[in-house]
Amino acid sequence: MPTFVYMSKCDGCGECVDICPSDIMHIDPTHRRAYNIEPNFCWECYSCVKACPQNAIDVRGYAEFAPLGHIVRVLREEAKGCISWKIKFRDGREKNFESPIRTTPWGSIKSPADYAAPSQDAFETQELAHEPETLNIDQLPELTPLKIKDGVI
């Protein structure tokens, strides 16, 4: 299910080139717009489709097994924290879905450096950052002698 780019919608901004995990979205030398240079390395991850500010990228299922005429389009609204999908079957049936993608504003994650620095003793323990508090139990589990089975099978 490789991606393709609509000529009339792409304005050559390069967001897709920047985001593609497979490094296959590049700029065409004739039109200075984006295209998929290696569909056989396209995972159909839709990263480029979601990143395109012009909704200029779409997907056509892999030719070996996907007949023509289907549509799976997406609208990722980052600011609203949600994503919407429109699926049209080859025979015209349609399904629509909307899901949340995030509950907090983008950029709001607290840096680990903004927490109080760990004590010297803490370096010696097995506890990771924010433990045991973020485990929501009293302490990090460890294997007591009772739990350890001796020897090898």
Partner 1 sequence: MFTSNPFAELAAFLPAIAMQVYIVLMIVAVAVGTLLDMIHKNSGKFFAEQRKKSKAAATKKLSGAESASIAVKTLAYEVATAGEFCNMQRRISHILMFYGFIFYLVTTIVMIFGYPTHATPTPAFIPALWNLGVIMILIGGYWFFFFLRVNVAQDGQPVFRLVLADLFIVTLLGSVTFAFVWELVQTTGNLAATKIAFGLYILFTTLLFGSVRWSKLAHMFYKPVVAFQRRLDEASGSSSLPTPSTRNELS
Partner 2 sequence: MGFFTRRKTVFVDSDILVIGGGMAGCGATYEARYWGRDLNVVCVEKANIERSGAVAQGLYAINTYMGMQWDENQPEDHVRYARNDLMGLVREDLGYDIARHVDSSVHKFEEWGLPMMRDPETGQYQREGKWQIMIHGESYKPIVAEAARKAATKVYNRIMVTHLLMDETKPNRVAGAVGFNVRTGDFYVFRAKAVIVAAGGASHIYKPRSAGEGMGRTWYAPWSSASAYALPILVGAKMMQMENRIVLTRFKDGYGPVGAYFLHLKTYTENAYGDEYESNWQDHTRELVGDYVDRLPVPTCLRNHALLQEIRAGRGPIRMVTKEAFQDPHKETVGWENFLGMTIGQAVVWASQNIDPKHTNPELTTSEPYVMGSHATCSGAWASGPEDCAPADYQWGYNRMMTVDGLFGAGDTIGGAAHKFSSGSFAEGRIAAKAAVNYVNDLGRDQPKVSEAEYEALKKTVFQPMENYEVGRNEIVAGTVSPSYLLPIQGLQRLEQIMDEYVGGIGSNYTTNEPLLTRGLELLEMLKEDLDHLGAEDLHQLQRAWELNHRVVASESVTHHTMFRKETRWPGYYYRADHPKLDDTDWHCFTLSRYDRESGSWNLETAPVHHIID
Q: Tokens at residue 146, please?
A: 């009772």
Q: CA-to-CA distance for 7 and 17, rounded, in angstroms?
A: 16
Cβ closest to partner 1, residue 53 vs residue 151 = 53
- For residues 112 to 151, the per-residue mask of contacts with partner 1, x marking binding by CB under 8 A and - elsewhere, is ----------------------------------------
**What burial class does residue 4 get, using C-beta atoms within 10 Å of its C-beta: 0-12 exposed, 13-18 middle, 19+ buried?**
middle
In the complex, least distance from residue 54 CB atom to partner 2, rounded to whole angstroms: 19
Cβ closest to partner 1, residue 45 vs residue 88 = 88
Q: CA-to-CA distance for 44 and 13, rounded, in angstroms?
A: 21
Q: CA-to-CA distance for 71 and 136, rounded, in angstroms?
A: 44
Does residue 43 have an active-site annotation? yes
The stretch among 3-11, 59-67, 110-118, 143-151 that binds partner 1 (CB under 8 A) is 3-11
Cβ closest to partner 1, residue 79 vs residue 148 = 79
Strands 3-5 and 25-27: unpaired
Identity of the residue numbered 120: Q
91 DSSP assignment: T
Local structure of 36: helix, strand or coil: strand
Is residue 77 within 8 A of residue 101, CB to CB? The reply is no
Per partner kind, with CB cut-offs from 5 to 8 A, the member of partner 1, partner 2, none near residue 8 is partner 1
Per partner kind, with CB cut-offs from 5 to 8 A, the member of partner 2, partner 1, none near residue 116 is none
Binding residues for partner 1, rule: CB under 8 A, are 8-9, 11-14, 17-18, 26-32, 53-55, 71, 73-75, 77, 79-82, 84-86, 88, 96, 98, 102-106
The set of catalytic residues is 43
